[in-house]
Amino acid sequence: MQRRVAITGLGIVSTFGNDVGGFWDAVLVGQTGGSDVALDGLPTLPGVRVLEFDADEVIGKREARRMDRVGIFAAVAAAQALADAGQHGIAPERIGTAIGCAHGGAGTVEETQRTLLERGLDRVSPFAIPLGLVNSPVAGTARLHNLKGPSAAPATACAAGSDAIGWAYERVRDGRADAMVAGGAEAALVPSVLAGYIRLGAIASLAHGAAAASRPFDTARDGFVMAEGAGVLVLEEWEHALARGAHIYGEVVGYGQSCDAGHLTSPDETGEGPARAVQAALDDAGLTAAAIGYVNAHATSTPVGDTAEARALQRAGLGQTPISSTKGQHGHTIGAAGAIEAIVTLACFARNHLPPCANLVEPDVELDLVREARPATPDYAMSTGFGFGGHDAALIFKRA
């Protein structure tokens, strides 16, 4: 018999600080975190950075030295989420970890290359490989928090955070774990990574300034604004959460995946692939599209991507559902996007408001787009995540 899955803890590392309440405040008022980013060898670009961040107090100076920035983000967000969940009394062997990431320890990889060329092999850190791998955030999080249950590091590009939560949901639902620490982390604002995205033509220009460069669903959009950060949720077996009197933010009730199996980077322009993921999540939850009261769209502010996603949502019967993409506020955190946006989606339960699309002046899609924070009390909300390689994911949450 499948078990119900509650969300009992939330943690965030973002440009708006490391507090979920403050993060919700910023997103709901449409605050934007974009600023000019100047890196060696690159033109000035719009980006979203995590500022004034000191992990020593949370995870200790020694551990922080043995982690890449992306692992630190994940471990700190997990510490917040676990503290928020409270005394759960679950054995470490029954608590697992799933942290999605696309670029791994990009800062470590960049520094290793520089050290090798400038100072020689003997000066390369022996930790270069374990800290540079895509699994470094989940490995560090599990080690620091003594989480000995199932673990995974989904690397499905921009869908990785959503897939991590979905994978964790299935572990708790099916009885393979009693709780999971799940989410995503990314810290890839380094020259080599951004250079690649520039060459792809994916990065937004500064035509509207850094704060307004990310413009999901707007006719003037011309690329995404890359961001760093982490979002982590604690998923827990429902009856256990009730029995210990935990605060429940919501319930995970549906998860769907699909793959376009098409272009290397471009999405399925028909929307058919992503629509299948959305339908799979609805089927998993036993719902029709009419039950969904809000969709937090993946829409990254690229010309082709936003249009394809609009078609997917229309195909899935969600064309008349209130929809917003909040990347205009917090930027595109790549592998962490699905996790951070899952936390955004839960705001509609916690604050009874739908978050707005920032920088939306003139939309070019036929959707019910939320222009300003809108009072609402939906029973069900969806978050989507779509990544390079055609990876599609959708999550459905239920009001507790």
Reply yes or no on whether 298 is catalytic: yes
Q: What are the distances in angstroms from CA 170 to CA 20, 187, 211, 258?
A: 25, 27, 38, 16
- Token pair, residue 162, equals 């959503």
Residue 143: how many other CB atoms lie within 10 Å: 15
Task: Please enumerate in sequence order all residues whose Cβ is within 8 A of that of 91, keeping only pairs 6 or more positions apart, or say none.
Answer: none
Instruction: Identify the active-site residue in 158, 208, 240, 357.
Output: 158
C-alpha span between 154 and 137 (Å, rounded): 11
**What are the respective helix, strand and coil percentages of the chain, to the nearest 5?**
40, 20, 40
- The β-bridge relationship of strands 5-13 and 229-237 is antiparallel
Q: What are the distances in angstroms from CA 187 to CA 104, 304, 310?
A: 8, 25, 28
Instruction: Identify the active-site residue in 145, 332, 353, 391.
Output: 332
- Token pair, residue 49, equals 């950075």
Instruction: Identify the active-site residue in 103, 298, 330, 353.
Output: 298
Reply yes or no on whether 101 is catalytic: no
Rg (CA), the chain: 20
Structural contact between residues 49 and 32, judged by C-beta atoms closer than 8 angstroms: no
- The β-bridge relationship of strands 380-387 and 294-296 is parallel
C-alpha span between 49 and 330 (Å, rounded): 9
Reply yes or no on whether 348 is catalytic: no
Q: Classify each residue of 103-117 as buried b or exposed e, where b means 16 or more C-beta atoms within 10 Å of its C-beta.
A: bbbbbbbbbbeebee
C-alpha span between 130 and 116 (Å, rounded): 17
Task: Report, as residue numbers or ranges, the catalytic residues.
Answer: 158, 298, 332
